[in-house]
A and B are shown apart, each in its own frame.
Chain A
Amino acid sequence: MSTILKLFIFPAALIITCLGVNTILGGHITPGGGFQGGAIIAGAFIFCAVVYGLKDSPIKFSHDFMGRMESIGALAYVFIGVAGLIFAGSFLYNLGVDLYGIVPAFIKTIFDYPDPTHAGVIPYLNFAVGLKVLVGLSAVVIAFLGFKGEFDEDGEEIEEIE
């Protein structure tokens, strides 16, 4: 890749990452949310991986990191859902808002999201989904970039048949 791209892409990727975070955090009141924000952050990573190559990319997602983030995102989502089931009887019940007034006050306080809209668990769900999506999409691109071709039993590359 050209020198101009190599100079520009890493700073741009950091700014794009911030935009993705902003999209995730505004998911409950503006267009966007966990999936869209996660895809934007993954886009920033993909930008770096394509321009610098997997080896020299300044943003590095290792296999362990992606596994951990994927698990944390999924577990956080399930935990918030099960908390609604335990305290209100419905999976993913919005404990922070409590429209039906059936949740103890301290539980409502715990799951409240401290902003002017008091959106309850929705921003936390966006956060969990954002984590999952950003590592999921990045993993696909890492797999594609790291693909070295198909090899037979003797270690020789299989040529494509037209």
Chain B
Amino acid sequence: MIFYAGPIVLGFLLGFIIGSRIKVNPESKLNFTWGSYITIFIAALVAAYFIGPFPYYQDVPLASGFVSAIVGIFVGKVTLGRYVKDDTEH
């Protein structure tokens, strides 16, 4: 199976940048557990399947940039997305 590195790498990078900014304030009433993140991931996979690959792309029947973006978001959230009070002031 062929994998095209371009959309996978750039999609992951953009997703990582956005994911690193997901910082849920513990004092807020938002309560998104790991289960909700897994649900979002499955929903993203389904969306990627229905969007389909770009024209001329014949590697996988998914939008590979879409999938790598959601993976990048979660990796960015896990690695850099910690809530620090002073860092998140607008």
> A-side interface residues toward B, CB under 8 Å?
6, 10-11, 14-15, 17-19, 21-22, 24-26, 29-30, 41, 52, 54-56, 58-63, 65, 69, 113-117, 123, 127, 130-131, 142, 146
Are A14 and B44 closer than 8 Å at their CB atoms?
yes
> B-side interface residues toward A, CB under 8 Å?
4-7, 10-11, 13-15, 17-18, 21-25, 28-30, 32, 36, 39-40, 43-44, 47-48, 51, 54-58, 63, 65-66, 69-70, 73, 87-90
Say which residue of B5, B13, B21, B70 sits within 8 Å of A18 (CB atoms): B70
Min Cβ gap B55→A in Å is 6
- In the complex, which residues of chain A have a beta carbon less than 8 angstroms from the beta carbon of B70? 14-15, 18
- In the complex, which residues of chain B have a beta carbon less than 8 angstroms from the beta carbon of A146? 90
Most chain A CB neighbours (cut-off 10 Å) among B13, B87, B90? B90
A69 with B17, Cβ < 8 A, contacts A11-B40, A22-B51, A63-B90 known? yes
Bound form: Cα–Cα A61–B36 in Å: 23
Min Cβ gap B45→A in Å is 10
Bound form: Cα–Cα A30–B44 in Å: 20
Are A25 and B7 closer than 8 Å at their CB atoms?
yes
- In the complex, which residues of chain B have a beta carbon less than 8 angstroms from the beta carbon of A114? 4-6
Nearest neighbor of A119 in chain B, beta-carbon distance: B6
Min Cβ gap A35→B in Å is 14
Bound form: Cα–Cα A54–B88 in Å: 10
A22 with B30, Cβ < 8 A, contacts A61-B21, A114-B6 known? no
Most chain A CB neighbours (cut-off 10 Å) among B22, B43, B87? B22
Are B14 and A130 closer than 8 Å at their CB atoms?
yes
Are A60 and B90 closer than 8 Å at their CB atoms?
yes
Bound form: Cα–Cα A27–B15 in Å: 17
Most chain B CB neighbours (cut-off 10 Å) among A10, A11, A22? A22
Nearest neighbor of A37 in chain B, beta-carbon distance: B14
Bound form: Cα–Cα A26–B66 in Å: 10
Nearest neighbor of A118 in chain B, beta-carbon distance: B6
Min Cβ gap A102→B in Å is 24
Are A22 and B21 closer than 8 Å at their CB atoms?
no
Bound form: Cα–Cα A65–B22 in Å: 12
Say which residue of B13, B48, B56 sits within 8 Å of A116 (CB atoms): B56
Are A26 and B54 closer than 8 Å at their CB atoms?
yes
Are A115 and B6 closer than 8 Å at their CB atoms?
yes
